[in-house]
Amino acid sequence: MLVTLYTSRVVLSALGVVDYGIYNVVGGLVTMMGLLNGAMSVSTQRYLTYELGKGDMLRLKQVFSTCMTIFMILSLIVIILAETIGLWFLYNKMVIPEERMDAACYVYQFSILACILSLITNPFNATIIAHEKMDVYAYVSILEVALKLVIVYLLLVIPTDRLITYGILILASQFIVALCYIIYCWKKFSETHYHFYWDKPLFRELISYSGWNLYGSAAGLVKGQGLNILLNMFFNPAVNAARGIAYQINSAITQFFTNFYTAVRPQITKYYATGEINEMTKLVFRSSKFSFYLIMLISMPIILEAPYIVNLWLGQLPEYVVPFTRLIIAISAIDSMASPLMTTAHATGKIKLYQSSVGTVIILNLPISYLLLKLGGSPMTVFYVSLCISVACLFLRLWIVRRLVNFPVKQYIIEVFGKCVAICVLSLIIPLAVHIILPQSFVSIVVVCSLSIIASIVTIYYVGLDGHEKELIHNFAQKTIFHKK
């Protein structure tokens, strides 16, 4: 997280606001071209984890090879779309200064290659997660941190166009990381030794499942990159840069939740595969709460002292960065709570109702935001809309999961949603009061941030945890801190 925040500051300083905004929005355009990647990624993860839970190794090999074949086909589709429709959109619809168009085109091509690389690597990543080899992610994360620092150094010393250089370096780092995952899988998991396998029923099942996931992925892109492009159409690259900076902060914060959720996700699917519904429900409850707690614990100081922290971090305070950051973190907190519900729906394999309902509501982000911007709304409007829709989708997911696995919705609302809201409010009281009373200075920032963390920990422990969870923490503390058996 610290390296991400540091490198973001240096990259913004090196590229400048305009080039940083161009990289953010052009990369987002390619992400939209890779729409099918997200759909197949979820399908691959679900099917590999399910077969591993069942213990059918032959079927596991067949699923992997079939998924790999599909991702190769998707790579070809992405290249065709990106080099036709994508290029047309880049030249005719994007708001990019004429003198930077050549550099934007280079970045666009690098982003296409990165997207293809992501597609080919996807089944290998899904296999690592299915096997729950989380230590691999820890080691590769250390490598990624080192590569980020190398990129920052090279960006400052290579005497060429910095936007183009940055695009090349990011692509190179992604290639190195992908290679690590692929080599590890080849050595450790026999099912990742690809051989062409054709099973029409399996192919159709994967494509059908992915078809509904495609709708959900499209909805996610509308919420993310679609709104990014919408901001570019109504405003200028500086607004996209502010959004990019805010998402960098959010990405660093949510990394705690992402790593935690990556470890939890295969367990939810395996519990369903083996028919342990009660255990699955308990895990969904706990992972929903803990996901929210992790984000709140890290983000509370940033939300309260965002202007000072952003200015200290970047050496400047670009317009809209602070409100964007606060709103995006709030949206991420709500979505993190809902993520285990999404995994539960996917575990059942019955995702038609889920994707059609939730996806449709999420897609409403685009027309509602467009209408409000057309009526003169500020850039913050799109994030207000997104926050409201995220809350609505949380309750919609609860209703759908109840239909799929007889999920205890009332209990979830009381024990998870109610506790999260209560903890958020209670944790804010003391640090917010101190923030208002004390004049802004470095000392007051330290005091407020420290109080935020302490208040969050105390409130989470006494209000947010049940007796069994407290006992688990006591046992963990004794074993790891006090070394008692």
Contact 365, 227 (CB under 8 A): yes
- Domain-embedded: residue 90: yes
Instruction: For 402-428, write each residue's pLDDT tens digit.
Output: 988 888 989 999 989 999 999 989 998
**Strand, helix or coil at 391?**
helix
Tell me how far CA of residue 332 lies from CA of 239, 326, 338, in angstroms.
20, 10, 10
Query: In this model, does residue 55 exceed pLDDT 80?
Result: no
The one-letter amino acid code at 291 reads S
Host H or E run for residue 61: helix 57-81
Host H or E run for residue 161: none
**For residues 422 and 305, what is the distance between their CA atoms, to the nearest angstrom?**
21
C-alpha angle with apex 194: 188 to 199, nearest 5 degrees?
A: 125
pLDDT for residue 391 = 92
- Domain-embedded: residue 215: yes
- Domain-embedded: residue 332: no
Question: Burial of 168 by CB count in 10 Å (0-12 exposed, 13-18 middle, 19+ buried)?
Answer: middle
**For residues 123 and 185, what is the distance between their CA atoms, to the nearest angstrom?**
10
**For the ranges 20-24, 56-60, 103-107, 423-427, which has the lowest average pLDDT?**
20-24
Helical spans, DSSP H, in 319-466: 321-348, 352-363, 365-374, 381-405, 409-412, 419-437, 442-459
Rg (CA), the chain: 23
Query: For residue 238, what are the contacts with CB-CB under 8 A and spacing of at least 6?
Result: 17, 18, 21, 318, 319
Instruction: For 87-133, write each residue's pLDDT tens digit.
Output: 888 788 777 778 888 888 888 888 888 888 888 888 888 888 778 78
Q: Which residues of 265-282 are buried (b: 16+ CB within 10 A; e: fewer)?
A: bbbbbbbbbeeeeeebbe
Contact 20, 201 (CB under 8 A): no
Out of 29-38, 46-55, 254-263, 349-358, the most confident range is: 349-358
Residue identified by tokens 């759909």 is 39
**For the ranges 100-114, 215-229, 267-281, 375-389, which has the lowest average pLDDT?**
215-229
Nearest C-alpha neighbor of 26 from the set 315, 225, 247: 225
Question: Burial of 258 by CB count in 10 Å (0-12 exposed, 13-18 middle, 19+ buried)?
Answer: middle
Contact 317, 246 (CB under 8 A): no
pLDDT for residue 183 = 92
pLDDT for residue 30 = 62
| Token pair belonging to 160 | 């060429």
Residue identified by tokens 């003391």 is 430
Residue identified by tokens 């996610």 is 220
Contact 270, 314 (CB under 8 A): no
**For the ranges 27-31, 87-91, 376-380, which has the lowest average pLDDT?**
27-31
- Domain-embedded: residue 190: yes
**For the ranges 145-159, 270-284, 466-480, which has the lowest average pLDDT?**
466-480
Q: Which residues of 97-125 are buried (b: 16+ CB within 10 A; e: fewer)?
A: eeebeebbbbbbbbbbbbbbbbbebbbbb
Left, alpha or beta for 158 (phi > 0: left; psi -120 to 50: alpha)? beta
Its domain, for residue 17, covers: 1-234
- pTM exceeds 0.75, yes or no: no
pLDDT for residue 398 = 92
- Domain-embedded: residue 8: yes
| Token pair belonging to 164 | 């183009």
pLDDT mean across residues, the chain: 82
**For residues 226 and 21, what is the distance between their CA atoms, to the nearest angstrom?**
15
**Domains: count for the chain:** 1
Share of the chain above pLDDT 70, in %: 93
**32 band by pLDDT with thresholds 50, 70 and 90:** low
**For residues 9 and 45, what is the distance between their CA atoms, to the nearest angstrom?**
34
**For residues 271 and 267, what is the distance between their CA atoms, to the nearest angstrom?**
6
**For residues 269 and 347, what is the distance between their CA atoms, to the nearest angstrom?**
5
Nearest C-alpha neighbor of 395 from the set 368, 416, 378: 416
Find how far residue 205's CA is from the centre of its chain.
Answer: 26
Secondary structure (H, E, C), 221-283: HHHHHHHHHHHHHHCCHHHHHHHHHHHHHHHHHHHHHHHHHHHHHHHHHHHHHCCCHHHHHHH
Better-predicted residue by pLDDT, 454 or 474: 454
